Amino acid sequence: MPVVIRPARETDRGRLRELTVEGFVGVSIDHAIEEKLGPIAATDWAARKGRHLDDDMDVVDGVVLVADESGEAVGYVSLRFDREAQVGRIPNLAVWSSLRGQGIGRMLLEAALARFRDEGMAVARIETLEHNPIGRHLYPSVGFVEVARQVHYAIDVRGSR
Ligand SMILES: CC(C)(COP(=O)(O)OP(=O)(O)OC[C@H]1O[C@@H](n2cnc3c(N)ncnc32)[C@H](O)[C@@H]1OP(=O)(O)O)[C@@H](O)C(=O)NCCC(=O)NCCS
């Protein structure tokens, strides 16, 4: 069945959370912190990452676009609009693992770029981890240029003074 891109609906929320947690194993900062420092509080990295999806769905100046195959969400991209700066941002992008490599991620990115243009953005931003080879291939291939690299640190402060 062909994949179509449409805005997310409230009824997608559970499925999009599932896509988020499945998609970001090994390629999220939340997971990396847990790998290095161990469990934090009562929640795991997946619960923390899943909350990002809620932020994406609930934000006022943003939208989530869904890749829909036969009525089921098989991927999504989230967008934020900074209208004053005219800078759009893509916080999250994920495609269900068994359907990757078929162009769905690229379709989502192209739909996101078109939406940024429609919303009057001048520039769009996206980030990827250095050890995410798909992101590092895909983003330049749709036209993003690398502008900076960042290193993320975390420290366990329980019991320290
Ligand atoms: C990133 C992601 C959304 C891409 O979705 P997708 O549907 O597989 O994307 P596409 O099929 O459109 O494109 C994937 C591209 O990566 C390439 N690719 C696949 N595996 C690769 C690898 N190991 N190294 C380099 N490139 C790779 C594919 O060949 C394809 O490029 P091409 O179109 O030039 O041939 C998907 O892999 C995903 O959900 N990953 C987990 C979550 C994630 O990493 N999100 C992004 C966080 S920054």
**Is 87 a residue whose pLDDT tops 90?**
yes
What lines the ligand 1 site, CB under 6 Å? 23-24, 27, 93-95, 100-106, 128, 132-135, 137-138, 141
pLDDT tens digits along 14-44: 999 999 999 998 888 988 998 999 888 888 8
Q: Domains in the chain, start-ordered, CATH in brackets?
A: 3-141 (3.40.630.30)
Q: Which whole number is the average pLDDT over 69-98?
A: 97
**Dmax (CA) of the chain:** 58
Position with higher pLDDT, 123 vs 27? 123
Q: How confident is the model at residue 68 (pLDDT cuts 50, 70, 90)?
A: very high
How much distance in Å is there from the Cα of 157 to the middle of ligand 1?
Answer: 36
Q: How far apart are CA 93 and CA 72, in angstroms?
A: 16
Residue 95: name the closest of 8, 18, 23, 10 by CA: 23
pTM over 0.85: yes
pLDDT tens digits along 130-155: 999 999 999 999 999 999 999 999 99
How much distance in Å is there from the Cα of 140 to the middle of ligand 1?
Answer: 12
Residue-level pLDDT at 39: 86
How much distance in Å is there from the Cα of 102 to the middle of ligand 1?
Answer: 9
